[in-house]
Amino acid sequence: MTDFTMEKGADGVAVITWDVPGKSMNVMTLEAWDVLEGLVDEALADEAVKGIVITSGKDSFAGGMDLNVIAKMKEMAGDDPARGLFDGIMNAHRILRKIERAGMDPKTLKGGKPIATALPGTALGIGLEIPLATHRIFAADNPKAKIGLPEIMVGIFPGAGGTTRLVRKMGAMAASPFLLEGKLSDPKKAKAAGLIDEVVADPLAAAKEWVLSAKDADIVKPWDAKGYKMPGGAPYHPAGFMTFVGASAMVNGKTKGVYPAAKALLSAVYEGALVPFDTALKIEARWFTHVLMHPSSGAMIRSLFINKEALEKGAVRPADVSDQRVRKLGVLGAGMMGAGIALVSAQAGIEVVLLDRELAAAEKGKAYSADYAAKGVSRKKITQDKADEMLARITATASYDDLKGCDLIVEAVFEDPKVKAEVTKAVDAVTDADCIFATNTSTLPISDLAKASKNPEQFIGIHFFSPVEKMLLVEIIKGKATGDRAVAKALDFVRQIRKTPIVVNDARFFYANRCIIPYINEGIRMVAEGVAPALIENAAKMVGMPLGPLQLVDETSIDLGAKIARATRAAMGDAYPDGAVDEVIFWMEGEGRLGRKARAGFYDYDEKGKRAGLSAAVSAKYPQAAEQPDVTEVQHRLLFVQSLEAVRALEDGVLMDIREGDVGAILGWGFAPWSGGPLSWLDMIGAPYAAERCDELAATFGPRFACPALLRDLAESGEGFYERFGGAKAAA
């Protein structure tokens, strides 16, 4: 069986069906291109064939290019990878161009065979680029189908003609949300936007009918016809000029120049718009090669697609534990976190008992889901019936008896070991012996909390991030006694609620907070040193961090920072390293500058809570030094301080798999996604250089930058993290 097969009908229509054996969704491979071309050649050469329809044997059309293949293309391209990649891309262009010209005479534009696509459902990436090369696209009226070009989300751009064709079809301005933001649409919206041509009940029948009636003129693409003008204007047309200047500014503003794909895409569009279509494809191929050659694209594909998916599918799940999907969940504490956990669980179809000390508090937690659902209904994201069903799954209560029959409990009560121990015991008294108990603590050691449990092997950490419904990462923490079934239960639960899990061992601040706190602290330390706050914040954003460290601490609040600092100091005693940071945050706390919630922090805020610039009061207390550091030095301090902590977490065995270290960093706290994560970043700059920078930073700024032994060892052996740990093996 091959990925594409063809059937020639008595009506003169050759139907090419894409149906990759053994996969639920079609993805394109390098070999499949040849098969497709062979079938197109055969149909074009066969006089009995009047037209061609390309469709799918599945309920969707295609999910895109096999990104595993893209990740390997560079290696496969041999000694001259750029040449190999470029040739491979140009080959795809040639095949799609053959489909587009369909055998017509290039001068008279006559005599070609109509080729249409019939999309039964979702068509993404190359799954839309192939249709865009055909003459008409018919899609089934399936509101669940997604149509679009999401490549930019994993650090590449549509490089099989999708960029050039879409811009020539709809204009640069109209195409920009689809290309630059990877916007996906259902079929009706895709038709309204001009991505596809028709939405019908039976796309295959409609496509067949169309190819049999299409005339020569119907199959000539506007850009192949005489007198073609780009919609919205090419770059030197007054309207086009505005678009391109604006787009450039917007892309640079949003990406700060660190995402090579966005910039390359824009260059391909701009340069392509100035030349004939076939030259534009060649330009697109050059820029696409450039992006594939850039280490960022490989790192992003690896972390944000391949490894993220592997973790979601249970790459680190204990293999010999049976299905642990949750049927009935108990959530203790209906505050900010508990309310969010109840919501995402009910959305996933799980029955939820939401318990607080008073019924009113539990009801208030449930009201959070009701408000969320009401918003969804008013925005037409869900129907009233579905919203009602979801809400009916949540039972608000103050009685432990209602927890009977729960197979998983997630505790999100106050961050106080005594309160946590009380509720653990109260739960043990009513639940079945096999119920798993999870705590959502952010700071308390799991192994200590487990002491209150009757079954410490059934006790685990499931650490959500706030806001629960938005944040994609869940950190699962194994205590010393935690058993495999508890890990499997936590992983199966996270899969049910469609989030990405990482599993780590128990240590102070687990993994995400362990790395993010030093980032915040480094920013605050620099303020104390007299580094301009604007330099700190901008340096962070220019290197791809979503928020500068000072904005981040304003968001999470200064008093939380002060509370954590006091607790850490108490736990660490003389070894506590952050006195310089505390001096600043305790002063801020004393001044009532508690962050956004107090409308005063490192930033000032207006009465609506909107940021109104960096605070003059902070600058008055910590005057800026006459000499300011180089922006790269600030960026290195901010990136190294996080990345070295990730390395130490790996050395300590807190992280057991480097994939989790990178995926967790991007999804958990937004570590510069272009880099693929902290360990990918260190691989990208190379261990020898990283070790050398550590030595320099440690000499100037202190031992927190000391090169970890593991990094030193990699520097000496000339390996990278991914070479040594293979993407799957444990660190120890």
* Sites of contact with ligand NAD (CB under 6 A): 332-338, 355-357, 361, 412-415, 419, 422-423, 440-442, 464, 466
User: Which of 357/569 has CB closer to ligand NAD?
Assistant: 357
Tell me which DSSP letter residue 223 carries. Answer: G
Nearest distance in Å: CB 513, ligand NAD: 9
User: Which of 357/386 has CB closer to ligand NAD?
Assistant: 357
Backbone angles phi, psi at 59, to 5 degrees: -80, -5
Give the 3-state secondary structure of residue 137: strand
Tell me which DSSP letter residue 479 carries. Answer: -
Nearest distance in Å: CB 415, ligand NAD: 4
- Spatial separation of the C-alpha atoms in residues 15 and 610, rounded to whole Å: 57
Spatial contact of 517 and 525, defined as CB atoms under 8 Å apart:
no
User: Which of 316/410 has CB closer to ligand NAD?
Assistant: 410
> Which of 639, 596, 592 minimizes the C-alpha distance to 617?
592
User: Which of 71/353 has CB closer to ligand NAD?
Assistant: 353
Give the 3-state secondary structure of residue 220: coil
User: Which of 307/431 has CB closer to ligand NAD?
Assistant: 431
Nearest distance in Å: CB 230, ligand NAD: 48
- Spatial separation of the C-alpha atoms in residues 239 and 109, rounded to whole Å: 30
Any idea which residue has 């920072």 for tokens? 561
- Spatial separation of the C-alpha atoms in residues 562 and 555, rounded to whole Å: 14
Distance (Å) of CA 659 to CA 257, 308, 725: 26, 8, 9
User: Which of 42/363 has CB closer to ligand NAD?
Assistant: 363
- Spatial separation of the C-alpha atoms in residues 62 and 57, rounded to whole Å: 10
Nearest distance in Å: CB 390, ligand NAD: 21
Q: Which amino acid is at 608?
A: K
User: Which of 357/712 has CB closer to ligand NAD?
Assistant: 357
When CB distances to ligand NAD are compared, the closest residue is: 335
β-pairing verdict for 436-439 and 351-355: unpaired
User: Which of 125/461 has CB closer to ligand NAD?
Assistant: 461
Spatial contact of 658 and 310, defined as CB atoms under 8 Å apart:
no
- Spatial separation of the C-alpha atoms in residues 105 and 121, rounded to whole Å: 33
User: Which of 402/415 has CB closer to ligand NAD?
Assistant: 415
Spatial contact of 501 and 528, defined as CB atoms under 8 Å apart:
no
Nearest distance in Å: CB 53, ligand NAD: 52
> Which of 5, 22, 2 minimizes the C-alpha distance to 14?
5
Nearest distance in Å: CB 338, ligand NAD: 6
Number of CB atoms found within 10 A of residue 31's CB? 10
- Spatial separation of the C-alpha atoms in residues 78 and 67, rounded to whole Å: 19
Backbone angles phi, psi at 589, to 5 degrees: -60, -45
Is residue 463 annotated as part of the catalytic site, yes or no?
Answer: yes
- Spatial separation of the C-alpha atoms in residues 475 and 291, rounded to whole Å: 32
DSSP string, 252-296: HHHHTT--HHHHHHHHHHHHHHTS-HHHHHHHHHHHHHHHHHSHH
600-639 residues labelled b (16+ CB within 10 A) or e (exposed): bbbbbbeeeeeeeebbeebbeebeeeeeebeeebbbbbbb
Nearest distance in Å: CB 490, ligand NAD: 15
Strands ordered across the beta sheet of 184-185:
123-124, 147-148, 184-185
User: Which of 389/402 has CB closer to ligand NAD?
Assistant: 402
Nearest distance in Å: CB 376, ligand NAD: 22
Residue 247 CA, distance from chain mean position: 23
> Which of 341, 344, 352, 343 minimizes the C-alpha distance to 396?
352
Exactly one of 135, 294, 463, 636 is catalytic; name it: 463
Query: 715: which residues sit within 8 A by CB, 6+ positions away?
Result: 687, 688, 690, 691, 692, 707
User: Which of 307/442 has CB closer to ligand NAD?
Assistant: 442
Using the Cα atoms of residue 194, residue 196, residue 202 and residue 205 in order, give the sign of their dihedral.
positive
Q: Which amino acid is at 279?
A: T
Q: Which amino acid is at 45?
A: A
Backbone angles phi, psi at 143, to 5 degrees: -60, -20
Spatial contact of 57 and 23, defined as CB atoms under 8 Å apart:
no
Nearest distance in Å: CB 442, ligand NAD: 4
User: Which of 244/465 has CB closer to ligand NAD?
Assistant: 465
Catalytic residue numbers, as ranges? 463
